Amino acid sequence: MVRDVQPERTMRPLSRPLAILVASVLAQVAGCGDDAAGGDPTSMPAQDASSRDEASAVDPATAGDAGADAPLPAHGFRADWFDDFSDRKVTRGEASVGIAHDAATSPAPGVRGILYSVRWTAQLAVANAGEHSFFANADDGVRVFVDDKAIIDDWTAHPPTESSGKVTLAAGEHHLRVEYFQLRGAASLALEWLPPGGVRGGLPKEVLAPRTSPPVDANGIVRQGPRPTFENPATPFDCPDPGVLATARDGHPLFAMVCTGGKLPIRLSDDLVTWRDSGNFLLPSGKASWSANGGRNWAPEIHAIGTGYVAYYTAVNAANVLSIGCTHATALEGPYTDCGGPLVQDALGVIDATFFEDPGGKKYLYYKIDGNSVGQRTPIFARELAANGLSFAAGSAAVEVLNNDANTWEGGVVEAPWVVKHGSDYFLFYSGNVYDDRYRTGVARAKSPTGPFTKKGGPILGNNASWVGPGHGSVVSVHGRDYFFHHAWPALPNGKNDAAKGRFGLIAPIEWGADGWPVLGGGSSVTTPIAWP
C-alpha cells in the first residue's frame, strides 16, 4: 500500500502540438486514422504486454512492487495494479482500458486473477468542446471520473453490464481516471467514448498522456487501491462463536474460521467476506477422546503457534463438566491430533479459551470459569503456556484478569475474551450478559497481558434494528486495518433475537480513537456498506 505523498510532476507535453493533434483526432474520429481506436480493448489479453504496442513500458518479468514509478510511454494510460485491492504490484503504461481473462489467469505481474483492482489515469486532450459520452462494459465494478467528477459509477459485483455517462467538456486537457475491481469468475472491461460530432469507439491513445505520478485525494494523500464494498452478514448462516485466524498462503491473505457445534468444521476465506467449507474438522469423530459426548463442543479457535497450528475448544470431560481441550496439526486444514485430555478443568466448568502471544514471545491462554451457571461470579483467567502451546509453562499460575460487575450491563457474565496489543496497551475484548438480545461486547485495557485491566465502561457494540446480541468476536488485521469479526442474531420487529435463524457472522471495522480506545462501527453491528478488507 502506498502511503507517501508524491507531488504531481509537471505533465509531459504530447508528442505533437495541440493544434496538430486536434486535426489528427478529427481525422481519427471520422475513421481515417489507421490506429484511431486501437481496436476492441477486450480483444487484447490483459496479460499479453507484447500485443499492446506502447501499452507496456515495463518488462513484466522485472516489474517490482509499487513505490518506484515505471517509465511511461508518451501516449496512453498510467495503470496501477493492486493485488487484494491493497498492494500495488506494478505500474505500467497501457494503450487502452481493457480486461479479459478467467479466474485462473494473472492479468499483471504479481496479481492473481481474482480479488484485485486497477486504476488507469491520463490527461485527456479534448479537441471539440461539447458533450462527451463514455461507455463501460464491465464484470465486475467500474467507475469513470473526468476532472474528479464521477461520470460512471457502477461499483458493484455483476455479470457483464454496460453503463454510460455524459459530461460537457471544454477544449483542452482534462483528468481522466478509470477504476475497476474483480472479485471472482471471469473478468472483463471495455471502455469507449463518443466525442461531439464523432463516432462511438475506443479512445485513441494519441489523445491520452499517462499521469506521471499516482493520483492524490483532496488532501494530497496518494490514493489507495480502489476497493469494492460489501454488506453484512459475512456468514449468512448460523455460525456462533466464530474463531477467526488470519494467515497467508502463496503470498495472499488466507483466513480460517471455526464455529461452535458438531465436528467443528474448518471454513476458509481469501478475503474475510466469502467463505467455503474445507471439508476438514477439528474433531472428525464428533467428540474428543476424553469427552463424555459431543453435545457441547463450543467456542473453537485455531492459532498459529511455532511452525504449526493449535486449536483450543470447549467440551465436556468424562464427568460431563465443561472443560478446555486442545488439538494440533502441522497444516492449517489438518489432520489434527487431540492432546489426549483436558487442558483446563474446574468444578464449575471452563469455557471460551483464547490464545495470545506477547511481542516478547511469551504465550498465554485466557479462559472463563463458568460461575454464572450456578449463580456465582465469572472470572476470566490468564496463564502462561509452554512454547508449543500444548501445556502450561513450568511454574506458571493462573491470574485473574477480569470479572463481571452484576450492577452494570454485564449482568452475571463476562466471557469470550480476545486479546490484542495496540500501541503500548493490551486490549481484552469480551462479551457480557445473557447470550440472546441482551448480549453485548465490551473492552478493557492494561499495560501487561496479565493486567490489571481497566474496563472502558459501557458496551462498545450493542443492538440496532437489524442485529441484536453482538459478541464473541475475533480481532483480525488485514492490510494494516483491524476488524472485529463477531456473531449476532437477526433482530425481530420487537427487538428480540430471531433464535430460529441463529447467530450470523458479521464484520465491524475497528477505529482506534484519540484516547486509545477502540471504536466499533457506530457502536452496533454495521448495517451500511463496508470497504472490502
CA pair distance 102, 106, nearest whole angstrom = 9
524, 486 Cβ separation under 8 angstroms: no
- pLDDT tens digits along 10-66: 333 333 333 334 333 333 333 333 333 333 322 222 222 222 222 223 333 333 344
Angle at 423 between CA 523 and CA 310, to 5 degrees: 85
Could you tell me whether strands 187-194 and 98-101 are parallel, antiparallel, or unpaired per DSSP bridges?
antiparallel
How crowded is the C-beta side of 522, counted as CA atoms within 13 Å?
A: 8
CATH 3.30.70.270 is right for the domain spanning 18-210 = no
Q: What is the DSSP letter of 70?
A: P
CATH number of 239-458+469-476: 2.115.10.20
- Judge whether residue 401 has pLDDT over 60: yes
Residue 303 burial (10 A CB sphere; 0-12, 13-18, 19+): buried
* Longest pairwise C-alpha distance within the chain: 90
529, 469 Cβ separation under 8 angstroms: no
Could you tell me whether strands 308-316 and 298-305 are parallel, antiparallel, or unpaired per DSSP bridges?
antiparallel
Of the candidates 416, 457, 411, the residue with the CA atom closest to the CA atom of residue 437:
411
Of the candidates 178, 250, 272, 225, the residue with the CA atom closest to the CA atom of residue 1:
225
Of the candidates 510, 363, 373, the residue with the CA atom closest to the CA atom of residue 441:
510
Of the candidates 392, 85, 112, 92, the residue with the CA atom closest to the CA atom of residue 212:
92
431, 416 Cβ separation under 8 angstroms: yes
- pLDDT tens digits along 364-378: 999 999 999 899 999
DSSP letters of 404-462? --TTSTTTT-EEEEEEEEETTEEEEEEEES-SSTT-EEEEEEESSTT---EE-SS-SBB
293, 320 Cβ separation under 8 angstroms: yes
CA pair distance 157, 182, nearest whole angstrom = 8
Cα–Cα distances in angstroms (integers) from residue 201 to residues 104, 190, 354, in the given order: 29, 10, 58
- Judge whether residue 460 has pLDDT over 90: yes
**Assigned C-alpha cell, 281:** 474438522
CA pair distance 293, 285, nearest whole angstrom = 11
Average pLDDT over residues 274-295: 96
pLDDT band for position 527 (50/70/90)?
Answer: very high
Block residue for cell numbers 516489474 = 63
Average pLDDT over residues 464-470: 98
CA pair distance 504, 242, nearest whole angstrom = 9
Predicted pLDDT of residue 6: 31
- Judge whether residue 381 has pLDDT over 60: yes
Mean pLDDT of the chain: 88
pLDDT over 90 for what percent of the chain? 82
CA pair distance 404, 412, nearest whole angstrom = 6
3-state percent helix, strand, coil for the chain, nearest multiple of 5:
5, 45, 50
Phi, psi of 21 (to 5 degrees): -60, -40
CA pair distance 483, 145, nearest whole angstrom = 30
* Helix or strand run (H / E) with residue 314: strand 308-316
CA pair distance 359, 402, nearest whole angstrom = 22
164, 190 Cβ separation under 8 angstroms: no
- pLDDT tens digits along 214-267: 888 888 888 889 999 999 999 999 999 999 999 999 989 999 999 999 999 999
- Judge whether residue 474 has pLDDT over 70: yes
434, 459 Cβ separation under 8 angstroms: no
CB under 8 A, 24+ apart: contacts of 286-290: 286/262, 287/315, 288/315, 288/325, 288/327, 288/338, 289/338, 289/340, 290/317, 290/318, 290/325, 290/338, 290/340, 290/341, 290/342
Spell out the residues 6+ positions from residue 498 whose beta carbon is closer than 8 angstroms to its own: 489, 490, 491, 492
267, 280 Cβ separation under 8 angstroms: no
Query: Domains of the chain: which residue ranges?
Result: 18-210, 239-458+469-476
How crowded is the C-beta side of 473, counted as CA atoms within 13 Å?
A: 34
pLDDT band for position 466 (50/70/90)?
Answer: very high
Cα–Cα distances in angstroms (integers) from residue 205 to residues 209, 249, 263, 453, in the given order: 8, 39, 58, 62
CA pair distance 299, 193, nearest whole angstrom = 55
How crowded is the C-beta side of 237, counted as CA atoms within 13 Å?
A: 7
419, 426 Cβ separation under 8 angstroms: yes
Strand, coil or helix: what is 43? helix
- pLDDT tens digits along 64-82: 344 444 689 999 999 999 9
pLDDT over 70 for what percent of the chain? 87
Distance of CA 257 to the CA centre of its chain: 14
Strand, coil or helix: what is 269? strand
- Judge whether residue 114 has pLDDT over 80: yes
- pLDDT tens digits along 341-372: 999 999 999 999 999 999 999 999 999 999 99
